[in-house]
Structure 1
C-alpha cells in the first residue's frame, strides 16, 4: 500500500497532472468512436461490412503514411505543440463524420476523407506523446508515469465503452461522434496550457527530413528486441483490426444482440486494462520485454471465443483478459523504450514502432469483410486467434527479446520529491 501511495505522489506535479488530464480526455473521445462509427456506418442505407472496412481503412492508411513525418516533427519541434495540433486535427475529422451522419449526406468518399483527417491527427500526436513523457516525468519514475497515464486512459475507455454504446442506442452514432470531436478539442486546449522548458536538441548542421528518418531508422534497427516485437505486432494488429474493427461488430449484429453486446465486450476489455495498468504500477520484471511478449499469447482468447460462438459473458471475460495482458505489455514496452532509446531520437523510433506495428492493419480491415463473406464470420475470427499465437511464438525465438534486462531499481526517494 505504501508503494501505491508513493506512486500517486507523482500527481502533485502540476505538469504531469495537466498532461494526464489532457490524455484522459482525448482517450475518452477515442472510446466513443468504435461503437459510434461501426454502427453508424453499418446503419446507413445499403451499408455492408465492406462499407465499414473502406471507412476504417481510409482512417488507417493516412495514419500509417504520415507516422514517420510525425516522428520527425516531434523530434524537431516542441512536442507539446505537436500533440496539440494532432488533437485538433482529430477533432476536425470527427466533427466532419458527425455532421455527415446527422445530416444524412454520407457519400463514401466524403466519409473516407473525414476519417483520413483523424488518421493524420493520430499520426502527428502519437510519436510526440511517447517523447514528451520523459520531459515531464523524472527518469526513475517513468514506469509510474506511464502506468498512471495508462490508468487515466483506461478509465476513459471503460466510461467511453459504456457511454458511447448508450449514446448510439439512445441518440445515434452521429451524436456520439460529436461528443468525440468535442473531447479531442478540449484535450488540445489543455495541452496548450502545458508549460515545458525548451528541450536542448543536439547542435550541428541542419538535416533534411530524409536524413532524420535515416538516423531514426539506425536507432530502431540497432536494437533487436524492438524490431522483432514490432514485426510480431504487425501481424497481431492485422488480426486485431479485423476482429475489433469488422468481424466482432458483425458477429455482434448477427447473433449477440447488436451495439449493446459489442459495448459490453469493449467495456470488459476496458475494465481489464484498468486491472492491467494497476498491476503494472508495482510489477518490475527483470526481463520486461520477455514478460510482455508472453502476455500476448492470451490475447487470442476473445477471438477464439467469438469464433466458437461462446456465450456473451465468456466473450466479455475474454475481452477482460485481453485488456489486462495488453496493458501490462504497453507499460513495460513504453518504459523500456524511454529508458533505452536516446531522448533526441525517441519520437522517430516511436514512429517506426507505430508504422511497423500498424502497417498491415489496413490489410486486416480490407480483408475482413471479404473473409466473412467467403469463409464465414466465425471461421475468420478463429483465423485471427491463430495469427496472434503463431506471431507471438515466433517473437519468443529472439535472444534480444528473451535476454534484455531492466536496470536495477532503487526506491529511496521520498514521496515529497514529486511536488515540483
Structure 2
C-alpha cells in the first residue's frame, strides 16, 4: 500500500511555516552542537595522547555509523522519525554534559573519549536517517524542496559557526567548557522537537507487522525498483566518491604545495561554503527549479570541471573564486538530489532511503581519504584531482543519460 499524506488546507511557504521553523531551529542547534562537540573531542584527544591516538579516537565513530546506518533507517520508519531524533539528541545531551562534568574533576583517558565517540557513532546511525524522514511529516509535498534548501542552509551555517564557537569555548574554559556548550545546544533542540505537530501518514500501519529485517529488505527492494530513486543513488554515490577526497584531504596537500598555509585552506573552504550556502538559499527561497533532473546533471558535470581546475590554479585569490564556483554548482546539485529524494520517495520508506544515501556519503566516501593521500604522494595533486573530477563528471553524465532522472521534476 502506498503511503500518502492526508488532506490538508493550503499551506503557507515553508520559510513562513512555524512548524518548519521549529524543526529548522532544532536542526540548527543540533548541527551547531555536533560541530562544537567534534572540536572539543579532538582537542581533548590531542591533549591526552599522540596525534596518531587522537586520530584513532576521532575515527572510532565512523565504524558503528557505517555498520548500523541501514538499521537506523528501519527504526526511523518503524518508530517514527521525531521519536528517534528526540531520543538521539537526548542521548547526545546527557553524554556530552557528563563528559563536561568529568573534565572538571579529572582528565578523561583516551579510552573514555573513544567510548564517547563510539556512542556518538551509534546515535548518528539513528539520527541521520530520521532527520531525512521528518520533512514530509511537517510540510506539504509541494514545500519539500524548499525545506531541503533551508536544511542545507542551516547545515552550512552550523558547520561554519560551530568551529569558532567551539574554539572560543576551549580558549575561555578548556575542553570542558566546549563540551558544556555542545550539551546546551543539544538540549535547546529538545523543546523545539517536542513542539512539532506531525502530519499523519496513511498506510503506515501495514508496514509495522513485519520483522525489522523484512522491513529492510522491503526498503531495498523498493529503492531498487524505483525508476528515479534507484539511479539517483548511483549518481549520489559517484559524486560523493569523487568529491570528498579532494575537498577533505587533497585541499590540505594542495595548499601546502602552493605555500598558502593553513589560512589558505580556510579561505578556500570559506569560498566553497559561501557558494554552497548560496545554492541552498536559492532553493529555500525559490522553492522549485524547473527541469530539476537536467539541471542536477549539468551542474554536477560543470562542478566536476571546476574541481579538476582547482589543482592547477597558482594563486590563492583565483583558488577561492574557483572554490566558490564549486560550492555553488556542487551545492545546487546536492540540494536537488536531496529534494528529489524527498519528493519522489513514498514517505513510509523515506527513513530507509535516507539511510542508503547517508551510508554512501558518510560511510563509504570517507574510505577514499587514505587512498587520496597515498595517490597524491605517488602521482601529485594534478592527476589525482583530475581523476576525482572525472568520477564526479561521470555521476553527472549518468544522471543525464538516465531518462527518468533527466526528466525528474520537483512539484509545483
Normalised to the residue count of structure 2, the TM-score between the two structures is: 0.79
Structure 2 partner of 1:413: none
Residue of structure 2 in register with 1:292 after alignment: 296
CA–CA distance in structure 2, aligned partners of residues 191 and 94 of structure 1: 19
Q: 1:196, CA displacement in angstroms?
A: 2.7
Tell me the residue number matched to 1:342. 346
Aligned partner of 1:226 among 203, 226, 229: 229
- Superposed CA offset, 1:107-156 (max 9, x none): 3x544432232222222122222221111111222222222333333333
Q: CA RMSD in A?
A: 3.8
Gaps of 5+ in 1: 1-6, 410-420
Match of 1:266 in 2: 269
Indicate the residue corresponding to 1:361 in structure 2.
Answer: 365
Match 1:124 to one of 126, 129, 136: 126
Larger deviation, residues 239-248 vs 136-145: 239-248
Seen in structure 2, the aligned counterparts of structure 1 residues 101 and 45 have a Cα distance that, compared at 3 Å, is farther
The one of 72, 80, 83 aligned to 1:81: 83
In 2, Cα distance between equivalents of 1:318 and 1:34: 28
Using the TM superposition, name which of 21-30 and 280-289 deviates more. 280-289
Quickly say closer, same or farther: Cα 1:220–1:367, change in 2 above 3 A: same
Task: Assess if the C-alpha contact under 8 Å between 1:31 and 1:164 holds in 2.
Answer: yes
For 2:115, which of 113, 116, 122 is the aligned residue?
113
Residue 351 to residue 163, structure 1, CA distance change in 2 (3 Å): same
C-alpha distance in structure 1 between counterparts of 2:146 and 2:191, whole Å: 25
Specify the alignment match of 2:394 in structure 1: 393
Over 3 Å counting, the alpha-carbon distance change for 1:365 and 1:279 in structure 2 is: same
Question: Which of 278, 281, 290 matches 1:278?
Answer: 281
Instruction: Tell me, yes or no, if structure 1 residue 212 matches structure 2 residue 248.
Output: no
Tell me if structure 1 keeps the 8 A contact 2:169–2:181: no
Structure 1 residues 293-328: Cα deviation after superposition (integer angstroms, max 9, x where no partner): 332345457865764574443343343333322332
Q: What runs of 5+ residues in structure 2 fail to find an aligned partner?
A: 1-10
| Structure 2 match to 1:414 | none
Cα distance in 2, alignment partners of residues 169 and 385 from structure 1:
40
Aligned equivalent of 1:17, options 14, 18, 21: 21
Shift of the 304–93 alpha-carbon distance from structure 1 to 2, 3 Å rule, reads farther
Task: Give the aligned length.
Answer: 396
Are residues 247 and 331 of structure 1, via their aligned partners in 2, closer, same or farther at CA, if it must alter by over 3 Å?
closer
Q: Distance in 1 between matches of 2:313 and 2:101?
A: 36
Q: Deviation at 1:14?
A: 2.5
> Is the aligned partner of 1:192 residue 2:163?
no
Say whether the 8 Å CA contact 1:292–1:328 is kept in structure 2.
yes
Deviates more, 1:309-318 or 1:271-280: 309-318
Q: Spell out, residue by residue over 1:377-410, the C-alpha distance to the aligned partner (whole angstroms, 9 max, x if none).
A: xx3585255224324325523424653331662x
Please give the alpha-carbon distance, in whole angstroms, between the structure 2 residues aligned to 1:298 and 1:91: 41
* Cα distance in structure 1, aligned partners of 2:322 and 2:172: 27
What is the alpha-carbon distance in structure 1 between the residues aligned to residue 42 and residue 306 of structure 2?
Answer: 19
> Do 2:304 and 2:392's aligned partners in 1 also have CA atoms closer than 8 Å?
no
Distance 1:12 1:54, change over 3 A: same
Structure 1 residues 408 and 188: CA distance shift in structure 2, 3 A: closer
Alpha-carbon separation, structure 1, partners of 2:361 and 2:249? 19
Using the size of structure 1 for normalisation, the TM-score is 0.78
- Measured in 2, the distance between the counterparts of 1:100 and 1:342 equals 45
